[in-house]
Amino acid sequence: MQRGKKRNRQLDQWLGMPLLNLLATFRRKYVSPPASIYRIGVICSPALGDTLLFSGPLQDLRAAFPQARIIHFCTRQNFAAAEIIPGADGRVLIDLTSPRDTIRRIRGRHLDVMIDFTGWQRLTAFYTMMSKAKFTVGFHTPGQHRSRGYDRAVQHTADRHELENFRALLRGAGFQQEVPITHEPAIALPPPIQAVLPGEKDIVAFHLWASGQKSWLREWPDERWIELAQRLAHPETLFLITGAPSDSERALPFVERMRAAGLRTEPFVSPDGFKTLTHMLQRARLLVSVNTGVMHLGAVAGTPTVSLNGPTAEHRWGARGRCCANVQPADGSGGYLHLGFEFDGQPEDVMQRITVDQVAEASAELLARCGEAG
């Protein structure tokens, strides 16, 4: 269930809410998890950024239960991302819109514990309740009416980063073992079979486009990207404009504008999902991105990453990693997205209030702190 699609959210609300709460009325609840835990199921939001942030708590869970088998239930949207994060012993592909098959796949793992890391979806709460796990855990998110079916519900709040909400879920789960809160989000990729762009000595990656509902409200004007590139350019700099194949109609004209400004520029579409993209980012001197999944990928990969946060709240969804900077409008506007769809009545020009000076200064300070080399 993707938060960016309004129809999916409405279906989730109109059908999921009454069905979930009706079934929860008749479900027996367990006060505490079983004394012995051998099989743990986890599910998180299909979004790339959410999945990458989830990797830190997943590693904490792995450390707390080293002998247990952890199964990550993934959707088509985040299966590729799940493959590059550590912690799970296996991954099971499910389709949230196919209840019978999804319930069969989850129940077939004979879980002791099922943990739902999603913040608002009723479908994932429904599948967690129907899992036949001996103990279930999930979020109580104000206004979402989804938590009655869990054995243990933990408060999901708007005043902390989603990574901290994930950690709070584990802390509040009630496991007999104390879950360590020590792991930062991480990826686990083998070295590339062949070098990515082997002849290039200086790569700067720009990611201009987000996805999902009203994604254009998270875009920055093209002319500011070009001015920023002129400030960042070295004689040998290659600017890579990352994007999905669906972004090509906009990427190619923008690349031509960059070239017309005297900047070495190429489009970059990864041929194998996130793997080659990640290897490229790990070679880059810098990634500048709107707040979206690629931004989180760069941050987790260790690339010096600057996130442009307009509608997206930095304190909820900003870049997190050892070498990150977050930029938002200097006037304090924006930052109104909590679960990702709270656009009604909000200003639509907050990205235009981020200046090139702000981003250039953040980039310079970040590179001075983290080093020029990617």
Query: Based on the domain organization, do 158 and 211 belong to the same domain?
Result: no
Q: Is the pLDDT reported for residue 95 higher than 90?
A: yes
Concatenated DSSP letters for 31-56?
SS--SS--EEEEE--SSHHHHHHHHH
Instruction: Indicate the residue among 123, 153, 171 that finishes a domain.
Output: 171
| pLDDT score for 32 | 87
Residue 299 covered by a domain: yes
87-97: average pLDDT: 95
| pLDDT score for 179 | 84
| pLDDT score for 311 | 94
Query: Based on the domain organization, do 222 and 86 belong to the same domain?
Result: no
Residue 187 covered by a domain: no
Instruction: Indicate the residue among 171, 190, 211 that finishes a domain.
Output: 171
Residue 149 covered by a domain: yes
The CATH number assigned to the domain holding 101 equals: 3.40.50.2000
Cβ-based neighbour number of residue 260 at 10 Å = 10
Count H helices and E strands in the chain, helices first. Answer: 13, 12
User: Which residue type does 46 have?
Assistant: P
Residue 355 covered by a domain: yes
Query: Based on the domain organization, do 122 and 207 belong to the same domain?
Result: no
Supply the pTM of this predicted model.
0.90
145-163: average pLDDT: 92
Query: Based on the domain organization, do 361 and 254 belong to the same domain?
Result: yes
Query: Based on the domain organization, do 144 and 220 belong to the same domain?
Result: no
Strand order of the β-sheet with 324-327 is 265-268, 237-242, 202-207, 286-290, 305-308, 324-327
Residue 190 covered by a domain: no
> Could you tell me if 170 and 139 are in contact, meaning their C-beta atoms sit under 8 angstroms apart?
no
Residue 250 covered by a domain: yes
Short-list 318, 286, 332, CA closest to 49: 318
Q: Is the pLDDT reported for residue 237 higher than 50?
A: yes
Task: Write the pLDDT tens digit of every residue in 279-310.
Answer: 999 999 999 999 999 999 999 999 999 999 99
| pLDDT score for 356 | 98
Q: Is the pLDDT reported for residue 94 higher than 60?
A: yes
Query: Could you list the residue range(s) of the whole structural domain that residue 343 is in?
Result: 202-370
188-212: average pLDDT: 90
> Structurally, how many domains does the chain consist of?
2
Instruction: Indicate the residue among 116, 149, 171 that finishes a domain.
Output: 171
Helices 222-232 and 356-370, packing angle to 10 deg: 40
Cβ-based neighbour number of residue 2 at 10 Å = 18
Burial of 134 (0-12, 13-18, 19+ CB in 10 A): middle
Query: Based on the domain organization, do 222 and 138 belong to the same domain?
Result: no
User: Which residue type does 341 have?
Assistant: F
Dihedral (CA of 175, 178, 183, 184) sign: positive
Task: Write the pLDDT tens digit of every residue in 34-79.
Answer: 999 999 999 999 999 999 999 999 999 999 999 999 999 999 999 9
Query: Based on the domain organization, do 222 and 98 belong to the same domain?
Result: no
> Could you tell me if 219 and 208 are in contact, meaning their C-beta atoms sit under 8 angstroms apart?
yes
Query: Based on the domain organization, do 207 and 136 belong to the same domain?
Result: no
Query: Based on the domain organization, do 244 and 166 belong to the same domain?
Result: no
* CA 79/CA 114 separation, integer angstroms: 18
| pLDDT score for 1 | 45
Query: Based on the domain organization, do 156 and 247 belong to the same domain?
Result: no
Query: Based on the domain organization, do 155 and 243 belong to the same domain?
Result: no
Task: Write the pLDDT tens digit of every residue in 203-224.
Answer: 999 999 998 778 889 999 999 9
Query: Based on the domain organization, do 164 and 212 belong to the same domain?
Result: no
Residue 192 covered by a domain: no
For the chain, give the mean pLDDT: 90
> Could you tell me if 32 and 172 are in contact, meaning their C-beta atoms sit under 8 angstroms apart?
no
Q: What would the two tokens of residue 98 be?
A: 């196919």
What letter would DSSP give residue 73?
Answer: E
Residue 181 covered by a domain: no
**Range among 3-12, 28-37, 329-338, 339-348 with highest mean pLDDT value:** 329-338
